[in-house]
Amino acid sequence: MTGKVTERKISERSCVACRAKHRRMELLRFVRADGAVVLDDSTRLPGRGAWLCRDLGCFDTAVSQGRLARALRTTIQEDKVATLREDVAVLLAEKE
Protein backbone atom coordinates (compact mmCIF):
# COMPACT_ATOMS: atom_id res chain seq x y z
CA MET A 1 0.00 0.00 0.00
CA THR A 2 1.62 3.14 -1.12
CA GLY A 3 -0.77 6.00 -0.75
CA LYS A 4 -0.08 9.05 -2.74
CA VAL A 5 1.70 11.59 -0.62
CA THR A 6 0.91 14.55 -2.73
CA GLU A 7 -0.97 16.41 -0.08
CA ARG A 8 1.23 19.30 0.82
CA LYS A 9 0.76 21.03 4.05
CA ILE A 10 1.00 24.64 3.16
CA SER A 11 -0.62 26.34 6.03
CA GLU A 12 -1.46 29.91 5.46
CA ARG A 13 -1.83 32.59 8.03
CA SER A 14 -3.44 35.97 7.87
CA CYS A 15 -1.59 39.13 8.67
CA VAL A 16 -3.26 40.68 11.69
CA ALA A 17 -2.90 44.13 10.14
CA CYS A 18 -4.00 43.82 6.51
CA ARG A 19 -5.57 40.34 6.67
CA ALA A 20 -3.68 39.20 3.59
CA LYS A 21 -2.97 35.50 3.57
CA HIS A 22 0.55 34.28 3.16
CA ARG A 23 2.53 31.19 3.77
CA ARG A 24 4.05 31.08 7.21
CA MET A 25 7.57 31.47 5.90
CA GLU A 26 6.58 34.73 4.28
CA LEU A 27 5.34 36.26 7.47
CA LEU A 28 6.73 37.47 10.74
CA ARG A 29 5.57 35.72 13.85
CA PHE A 30 5.16 37.27 17.25
CA VAL A 31 4.52 35.33 20.39
CA ARG A 32 3.67 36.16 23.92
CA ALA A 33 6.29 34.66 26.16
CA ASP A 34 6.31 35.22 29.89
CA GLY A 35 3.99 38.15 29.50
CA ALA A 36 6.19 39.91 26.99
CA VAL A 37 5.73 40.03 23.24
CA VAL A 38 8.72 38.90 21.24
CA LEU A 39 9.52 38.55 17.59
CA ASP A 40 9.78 34.85 16.88
CA ASP A 41 12.27 34.65 14.07
CA SER A 42 12.32 30.86 14.17
CA THR A 43 8.49 30.71 14.05
CA ARG A 44 8.81 27.81 16.42
CA LEU A 45 8.36 29.28 19.84
CA PRO A 46 5.49 27.80 21.78
CA GLY A 47 2.54 29.87 22.76
CA ARG A 48 -0.04 32.10 21.21
CA GLY A 49 1.23 33.65 18.03
CA ALA A 50 0.28 36.50 15.76
CA TRP A 51 1.37 36.86 12.18
CA LEU A 52 2.33 39.94 10.23
CA CYS A 53 3.58 40.69 6.74
CA ARG A 54 7.28 41.32 6.49
CA ASP A 55 6.50 44.95 6.32
CA LEU A 56 6.97 47.73 8.82
CA GLY A 57 3.78 49.29 7.56
CA CYS A 58 1.79 46.29 8.71
CA PHE A 59 3.66 46.30 12.00
CA ASP A 60 2.75 49.94 12.56
CA THR A 61 -0.87 49.31 11.65
CA ALA A 62 -1.06 46.29 13.92
CA VAL A 63 0.37 48.25 16.81
CA SER A 64 -1.43 51.53 16.33
CA GLN A 65 -4.79 49.82 16.01
CA GLY A 66 -4.08 47.48 18.87
CA ARG A 67 -4.44 44.43 16.68
CA LEU A 68 -1.17 42.82 17.64
CA ALA A 69 -1.91 43.16 21.33
CA ARG A 70 -5.44 41.89 20.82
CA ALA A 71 -4.30 38.91 18.78
CA LEU A 72 -1.93 38.00 21.57
CA ARG A 73 -4.44 38.85 24.28
CA THR A 74 -2.07 41.16 26.03
CA THR A 75 -1.00 44.75 26.13
CA ILE A 76 2.25 46.04 24.74
CA GLN A 77 4.06 48.84 26.49
CA GLU A 78 5.13 51.72 24.32
CA ASP A 79 8.82 51.27 24.99
CA LYS A 80 8.40 47.60 24.13
CA VAL A 81 6.83 48.57 20.83
CA ALA A 82 9.94 50.56 19.94
CA THR A 83 12.13 47.57 20.73
CA LEU A 84 9.97 45.22 18.70
CA ARG A 85 9.94 47.61 15.77
CA GLU A 86 13.71 47.74 15.89
CA ASP A 87 13.83 43.94 15.87
CA VAL A 88 11.58 43.85 12.84
CA ALA A 89 13.60 46.48 11.01
CA VAL A 90 16.83 44.56 11.65
CA LEU A 91 15.28 41.30 10.52
CA LEU A 92 13.88 42.82 7.34
CA ALA A 93 17.22 44.41 6.54
CA GLU A 94 19.01 41.09 7.05
CA LYS A 95 16.72 39.11 4.81
CA GLU A 96 16.70 41.47 1.89
Nearest to 63 by CA among 86, 91, 90, 35: 86
Longest dimension (CA), the chain: 58
- Give the binding site for Zn ion (CB under 5 A): 15, 17-18, 53, 58
Yes or no: say if 28 and 51 are a contact pair by the CB < 8 Å rule. Answer: yes
Nearer Cβ to Zn ion (15/39): 15
Nearest to 49 by CA among 19, 71, 80: 71
The Cα–Cα gap between 39 and 33 comes to 10
Nearer Cβ to Zn ion (17/84): 17
Nearer Cβ to Zn ion (8/61): 61
